[in-house]
Structure 1
């Protein structure tokens, strides 16, 4: 009689499963072309890692701090010679991308706010790369919060004035058992497969809070089944201080990327409690991959 597989055997790395195809389409929200903005560099370089298609999308400064409900095109946007601007910018962006090893390139000029732009283009992109200071500081949380909640695509958010090569050697993943954090781990899988070290920071109160509430998901076993070398460390923090604790722990691990679910609680509760998403969006000095 054939014996059932043990838990460990079921989740041993499998050569077929471990061969992950990576990202096919990367979207970079470009804020300048002379020189190219950090999101343009990062988006192109990630596309080069996976031989992927990259779309550059320019968002005019007059639109960057608008929420979705305020996204009527400005007079200047309506007066733009869209055909000429898009052709010129496409040629420039294509030359830039190809100089960094990307062969498949598209270009878009948006005339709506970031949230609607990301929701529309995110429908056919695997990853969106953007800068935290895309919107002015006083509007950043509202604009990026709305975009993260509505775009339905994983977003790699770069710190302000990011000028370093994009690397994923040491990845830290915040794990609290939420659906959002499961989605974030799945979205980060292509990058985790490139990492030399992946550490999961597990909420120390997770077992008590989530017992019996949802089907089990073991992030360590899942990542190992895809050939990722991963370890796990507990993280003990109150809900109010979870963002600060997660960021500090990531820095202690010398992480060059932090992965986490975005807005696991209602936006109102996040705002009242100063939630983890809000704190990390405001303070992270490394790229963060967020998924709602």
Structure 2
């Protein structure tokens, strides 16, 4: 059964766009799917209610004009990056951003929509099979990525975080981080499209990571019902850090992709105190599929 037909790729800027384009193109090829590249351009008028007291009407208009100018510049940079990549990728057809998209062959489109990224991106993500998010340059930005958290918390769909350096090949080895939670179950369902065509699949579990719910042995049995042969491996925390131990186990396996539930604890707690989700977001070198 075909499990992926549409992939959403929101780009707020051209930074790290190339790595995301390469990952998205590989996904489009693998699934003969459509890669929908979306840039949300902020509306300069939205800053008017945020302007502080004491600003004159002329000052507010100047702020709006400056925001519009910056937004236009960023939109042009993203569009240029898309057009440049499309010109170097002739095997993926560039088409207008409207349905129907070509069936049975990979395609891609580019669309600019004016509005708030936190609203527009999850709206489009809800009617996409998954959303691919570029990897920001710094850990602080990863933790606060608007598109990433908008999709995770408000779309009902999985998100894939692209690595800084794209894979030179299709996903061959998949790791599934399992702790028995509903979030992990959602990620498990989301990764089936890759696991079903990968060379090897491994379920990673840790006693300190496990919550109330099914155990790793049951996950292996579940995967077998989908025709997926998987093994399981227990990992240990490194320096009392479960996230570090998880990524170490992925590296030992040579994983191209890690699937995991996100924010089993509250996002605020993870941002303040740290956590497995935050550690993986800030340190991953492979594709990471997250869901909650």
Residue of 51, 69, 76 corresponding to 1:76: 69
**8 Å contact 1:237–1:245 — kept in the other structure?**
yes
Q: Displacement, 1:265?
A: 1.1
**8 Å contact 2:10–2:37 — kept in the other structure?**
yes
Q: Displacement, 1:248?
A: 0.8
Q: Write the mapping of 1:40-189 to structure 2, written as runs, cut at 5 A.
A: 40-58=21-39, 74-76=67-69, 98-100=90-92, 102-112=105-115, 114-133=117-136, 137-143=139-145, 146-147=149-150, 148-160=152-164, 162-189=165-192
- Relative to structure 1, the CA distance from residue 124 to residue 95 in structure 2 (aligned partners, 3 Å threshold; closer, same or farther) is farther
**8 Å contact 1:240–1:273 — kept in the other structure?**
no
Structure 2, unmatched stretches of 5+, are 44-49, 51-63, 94-104
Q: Write the mapping of 1:7-18 to structure 2, written as runs, cut at 5 A.
A: none
For 1:258, the equivalent position in structure 2 comes to 258
When normalised by structure 1's length, the TM-score is: 0.74
For 2:201, the equivalent position in structure 1 comes to 198
Q: Deviation string for 1:11-35 (max 9, x for gaps)?
A: xxxxxxxxx31201111234439x9
Separation in structure 2 between the aligned mates of residue 38 and residue 190 of structure 1, nearest angstrom: 21
For 2:5, the equivalent position in structure 1 comes to 24
Separation in structure 2 between the aligned mates of residue 152 and residue 96 of structure 1, nearest angstrom: 33
- Relative to structure 1, the CA distance from residue 86 to residue 116 in structure 2 (aligned partners, 3 Å threshold; closer, same or farther) is same
Q: Displacement, 1:168?
A: 1.5
Separation in structure 1 between the aligned mates of residue 113 and residue 18 of structure 2, nearest angstrom: 16
Alignment length, in residue pairs? 258
CA RMSD in angstroms, aligned pairs only:
3.8
Q: Deviation string for 1:79-119 (max 9, x for gaps)?
A: 68x9x999988876665555247544332124445433430
**8 Å contact 1:29–1:40 — kept in the other structure?**
no
Separation in structure 1 between the aligned mates of residue 273 and residue 17 of structure 2, nearest angstrom: 37
Structure 1, unmatched stretches of 5+, are 1-19, 64-69
**8 Å contact 1:25–1:125 — kept in the other structure?**
yes
Separation in structure 2 between the aligned mates of residue 285 and residue 181 of structure 1, nearest angstrom: 20
Separation in structure 1 between the aligned mates of residue 115 and residue 217 of structure 2, nearest angstrom: 38
Separation in structure 2 between the aligned mates of residue 202 and residue 25 of structure 1, nearest angstrom: 31
The secondary structure found in structure 1 opposite 2:136 is helix
